[in-house]
Chains A and B, each alone.
Chain A
Amino acid sequence: MGTVETPLVATAVKPVRRASRRRRETLAFYGFLSPWLFGFIALTSVPLVLGFAMSLSNLTPVNLHTNLQYVGSKNYVRAYHDHEMWYSMQRTAILMVTIVPLWIVTQLGLAMLLNAGIKFLGLWRTLFYVAVVVPVVAKAFIWKAITDQDGGLLNRILGALGGNSHANWLLDHSTATLIMLLLWGGAGTGMLIFLAGLKGIPEELYEVARVDGANAVRRFVSITLPLLTPVIMFQLVWGLVGAANVFVEPILLSPGLQSGLGSTVPTDNITFNIYALQRIFGDGDFGYGAAIAWIFVAFILVVTALVFLSGRFWVFQAKEQYGK
């Protein structure tokens, strides 16, 4: 019996020790993860759910204790019939399809410039990136000064070239002004990501292409671009979400009637976010504003899903290629 029991104990202890180690590792894993997880649940997930509940109510800043009611899908139906909401969605879509390609082209162009071994690399890298570290408020005020109707740099240049030296950029060309600011402020981060992507392309591929007589354009089209498609995909998704979420810049670029939430944002720059913000904090229409915010979430999800689906057709899949 004794000879039989010994191996039984040994086999029972080993799994327990392994289990104990695995348990410690799991605890450590989730311990390190928990600050983010707690923040994500408490500050993102719970507010999202509460926001959805709010979208099904008639909550205003003054009716919590007097007449708060469940209104079902009424706010969503109202949004469907709200022309201004659709207009804000249209303006958001225009911003997305305009700024994202501009971002990608500019970021890739700057990254290739830095990757080409130009002189004073550090200086150029700093110059290209500096707009990222300047606070958005400062950037907007610099941009307002540049586009000022009376004596702004842009109008002076246009005047010197024989153009309209008195253009009201902030009002008559509000979306163009916004796009220029976003382009300037958003190019640096993407440039670094593209630069990392370019550094990851094996030099041998270019050498072989050169030996085969491929010129620079051919090398870019046949090597650089295909191998960068995963990075482009990332930038595309990131850019679309970022462009859809723009809302501080249009407020800061409003032509100066009031400030903060009272700013009179030009109609063409009222993006989806700003529209929701105005309904919530301007009208005090919390329920309706929350419904708009949820429609916005659905809109972003659909756009992102479509982009991911399209990726099957144009994003370079390294494993498959090497496997072949």
Chain B
Amino acid sequence: MSEPTEDGRITRRKLLGGAAGAAGAFAAGSLFGPELAAALPRRRLSPVKIVVMGKELSQGDVAAFQDGHPNIAIELLQPDAAKFQAMMAAGQPPDIWRTQAPLVPQWAKRGQLLNLDKYFSQSDLLHPADLTAANNYYRFKNGKIGVGPRYGMCKDWSPDETVWINTDLFKRTGIHVPGPTDKWTYDDLWAIALKLKKKNPSVKWILDIANSYAWIDRHVMVQLASIGKSLYPSDFSRINLTNNPAAMAAFNYSFRYSQHKLDLGPENANPDGWSGPGFVTPTGSVAMTQYGYWFLGQISDTGSAKVDARSRLLTAPIWKGGKHLDPTITATGWVISAASKNPDQAWTVFEWYMGGKPARDRAGIGWGVPAQRSLFDRLPEKTLVQRNAKKTLLHELPTANVALQYNPYLVGLNDNTAVATAYQKYLADAAKGKMSFKDFMKKVEADTNRAIAVGKQG
């Protein structure tokens, strides 16, 4: 017979085992939460929750939506790459998330986005015939962007290769200020940049290229597309860089700005992290920025007549031997998860944001070109800079009907693709001369091909 004291005693082993079991159950519960929740009887009175990861949507907007849709609750998550990666890897993505053009193919290829064709065909607010070409980035079929079902649309867009200039600086330097629709070339841009730097040593940042190289591959893809070339073979199995003279020339063009410290590169870092504040500051510490039409919002928001008067949007420079191309390289927009438990309600939120009052409001503030042609009459025209920017935009529209073919195997979730990340990573050493340009490109190529290999695993 055992001791009476032994039967009921809580041993360390028992307690640790119990705690581990409880913790394990907790962890397992967090993994299988949605399934468990779905299996439980649902109280129909509570609104359906739609998780949206995105910005440019305020809590006020959310409240306004919910006033008109009491059966739908929006949980708004701020974009957070780490959180988003974890949600995706755990198979629990948000219902809706904000994204950019290069990231769409990776999900579309793997069946992770909801096909919205059915919803578009029944919508009173969104009509495919009314959508601008930029929305084609959200179509994907058989490895090709721009065809097939629609998986989302842009909230707004911009011909991103256009260049904003500080006309005061041009005049002071004795450089002719081009008109809003004048053609010019990348050689012209280089010559102007050198001249601006020489005559204005106090201006530290002459040109912001491709969002400080976060979009360098997209920018180069436009230059290559204008001469009928590409960064990738048709099967996207690798990046063609060191064996691709046209790509080498395009990357080298941007690299020269770093070598001469004309850019916002690591050797000439800008504490703001981008050229926006510097361009609109009264003293104008950034001379030119290749950001596109949407940057008009940054200029207009300053409320400064001086900044308005001195700012001008120019057409996209033409690449050597190429045709004039100015597609969007961002096409920031929304997609809906194929795994959404409430796709109809998710579409209601999507339709409201893309075709309802928020879309109409966005069209008039200058922070991008509307995704629908029917909203073009709302483009801002109060000030001279707004009117000139509209002239440039309308001039560029026919050259924007191109969908760059981004690589579906590059599975990054930041806005940067692996190409841009590698470019930024090695740029400082290359610009300082610690490695040759060819070695720099070899490293970018190796890193990118490694990322493509990872992406091909799934």
Q: Which residues of A contact B (CB under 8 A)?
A: 12, 15-16, 18-19, 22-23, 26-27, 30, 34, 37-38, 41-42, 45-46, 50, 58-69, 144, 148-150, 168, 170-171, 255-262, 264, 266-267, 280-286, 288
Partner of B411, one of A260, A261, A262, A284: A284
Given the interface pairs A148-B271, A257-B273, the reply to whether A266 lies near B428 with Cβ below 8 Å is yes
Number of A-B contacts (CB under 8 A): 158
Partner of A60, one of B89, B212, B267: B89
B204 near A150 (CB under 8 angstroms)?
Answer: yes
Given contacts A267-B425, A283-B418, A284-B454, 9 further A-B contacts (CB under 8 A): A19-B9, A34-B19, A42-B23, A62-B110, A64-B90, A67-B457, A171-B267, A257-B266, A264-B427
Instruction: Give A143 Cβ to nearest chain B Cβ, in Å.
Output: 13
Whether a CB of chain A sits under 8 angstroms from the CB of B313 is no
Given the interface pairs A16-B5, A18-B5, A255-B266, the reply to whether A60 lies near B457 with Cβ below 8 Å is yes
Instruction: Give B103 Cβ to nearest chain A Cβ, in Å.
Output: 10
Q: Interface readout for B62-88 with A: 1 if CB under 8 Å, 0 if not? A: 000000000000000000011001001
In the assembled complex, the Cα of A45 lies from the Cα of B427 at a distance in Å of 40
Residues of A within 8 A of B264 (CB): 257
Residues of A within 8 A of B32 (CB): none
Q: Would you mind naming 16 contact pairs between A and B with Cβ atoms under 8 Å apart?
A: A15-B5, A22-B5, A23-B9, A23-B10, A38-B22, A42-B26, A62-B107, A63-B110, A150-B204, A256-B272, A260-B81, A261-B414, A264-B424, A280-B85, A283-B412, A285-B454
In the assembled complex, the Cα of A261 lies from the Cα of B212 at a distance in Å of 15
Instruction: Give B183 Cβ to nearest chain A Cβ, in Å.
Output: 31
In the assembled complex, the Cα of A61 lies from the Cα of B93 at a distance in Å of 10
Q: Which one of B22, B264, B412 has the greatest number of beta carbons of chain A within 10 Å?
A: B412
Given the interface pairs A46-B27, A257-B213, the reply to whether A41 lies near B20 with Cβ below 8 Å is yes
Q: Which residue of B lies closest to A64 (CB)?
A: B91
B273 near A59 (CB under 8 angstroms)?
Answer: no
B266 near A19 (CB under 8 angstroms)?
Answer: no
In the assembled complex, the Cα of A282 lies from the Cα of B82 at a distance in Å of 9
Residues of B within 8 A of A26 (CB): 9-10
Whether a CB of chain A sits under 8 angstroms from the CB of B315 is no
The residues in B between 1 and 19 inclusive whose CB is less than 8 angstroms from any CB of A are 3-5, 8-10, 15-16, 19
Q: Which residue of B lies closest to A265 (CB)?
A: B425
Residues of B within 8 A of A282 (CB): 412, 414, 416, 418, 421
In the assembled complex, the Cα of A211 lies from the Cα of B395 at a distance in Å of 94
Q: Which residue of B lies closest to A286 (CB)?
A: B89
Partner of B82, one of A63, A258, A281: A281
The residues in B between 436 and 458 inclusive whose CB is less than 8 angstroms from any CB of A are 450-451, 454-455, 457-458
B4 near A19 (CB under 8 angstroms)?
Answer: yes
In the assembled complex, the Cα of A22 lies from the Cα of B107 at a distance in Å of 59
Q: Which residue of B lies closest to A288 (CB)?
A: B454
Given the interface pairs A62-B106, A262-B415, A283-B412, the reply to whether A30 lies near B89 with Cβ below 8 Å is no
B15 near A284 (CB under 8 angstroms)?
Answer: no
Residues of B within 8 A of A256 (CB): 269-273
**Which 8 A-B residue pairings sit nearest by Cβ, starting from the closest?**
A63-B458, A19-B5, A41-B23, A42-B23, A255-B269, A61-B88, A67-B458, A256-B269
B429 near A267 (CB under 8 angstroms)?
Answer: yes
Instruction: Give B39 Cβ to nearest chain A Cβ, in Å.
Output: 20
Residues of A within 8 A of B271 (CB): 144, 148, 256
Instruction: Give B267 Cβ to nearest chain A Cβ, in Å.
Output: 7
In the assembled complex, the Cα of A170 lies from the Cα of B421 at a distance in Å of 19
In the assembled complex, the Cα of A46 lies from the Cα of B28 at a distance in Å of 10
Q: Which one of B4, B270, B425 has the greatest number of beta carbons of chain A within 10 Å?
A: B425
In the assembled complex, the Cα of A16 lies from the Cα of B112 at a distance in Å of 62
Instruction: Give A153 Cβ to nearest chain B Cβ, in Å.
Output: 15
A284 near B9 (CB under 8 angstroms)?
Answer: no
Q: Which residues of B contact A (CB under 8 A)?
A: 3-5, 8-10, 15-16, 19-20, 22-24, 26-27, 81-82, 85, 88-91, 106-107, 110-112, 204, 212-214, 264-267, 269-273, 411-416, 418, 421, 424-425, 427-429, 450-451, 454-455, 457-458
Residues of A within 8 A of B267 (CB): 168, 171
In the assembled complex, the Cα of A61 lies from the Cα of B412 at a distance in Å of 8
Residues of B within 8 A of A50 (CB): 27
Instruction: Give A308 Cβ to nearest chain B Cβ, in Å.
Output: 24
Q: Which residue of A lies closest to B411 (CB)?
A: A284
A262 near B266 (CB under 8 angstroms)?
Answer: no
A261 near B110 (CB under 8 angstroms)?
Answer: no
In the assembled complex, the Cα of A144 lies from the Cα of B269 at a distance in Å of 12
In the assembled complex, the Cα of A259 lies from the Cα of B424 at a distance in Å of 13
B454 near A171 (CB under 8 angstroms)?
Answer: no
Residues of B within 8 A of A144 (CB): 271
Q: Which one of B3, B270, B421, B451 has the greatest number of beta carbons of chain A within 10 Å?
A: B421
B10 near A27 (CB under 8 angstroms)?
Answer: yes
B416 near A258 (CB under 8 angstroms)?
Answer: yes
In the assembled complex, the Cα of A46 lies from the Cα of B16 at a distance in Å of 13
Given the interface pairs A19-B9, A27-B10, A42-B26, the reply to whether A12 lies near B4 with Cβ below 8 Å is yes
A257 near B4 (CB under 8 angstroms)?
Answer: no
Instruction: Give B333 Cβ to nearest chain A Cβ, in Å.
Output: 19
Residues of B within 8 A of A267 (CB): 425, 428-429
B81 near A281 (CB under 8 angstroms)?
Answer: yes
Q: Which one of B269, B411, B418, B429 has the greatest number of beta carbons of chain A within 10 Å?
A: B269
In the assembled complex, the Cα of A16 lies from the Cα of B3 at a distance in Å of 9
Instruction: Give B422 Cβ to nearest chain A Cβ, in Å.
Output: 10
Partner of A62, one of B23, B428, B458: B458
Q: Which residue of B lies closest to A82 (CB)?
A: B450
In the assembled complex, the Cα of A12 lies from the Cα of B1 at a distance in Å of 13
B89 near A64 (CB under 8 angstroms)?
Answer: yes
Q: Which residue of A lies closest to B426 (CB)?
A: A267
B23 near A60 (CB under 8 angstroms)?
Answer: no
Residues of A within 8 A of B454 (CB): 60, 283-285, 288
In the assembled complex, the Cα of A264 lies from the Cα of B89 at a distance in Å of 24
Residues of A within 8 A of B429 (CB): 267
Given the interface pairs A27-B10, A170-B269, the reply to whether A262 lies near B3 with Cβ below 8 Å is no
A283 near B458 (CB under 8 angstroms)?
Answer: no
Q: Which residue of B lies closest to A148 (CB)?
A: B271
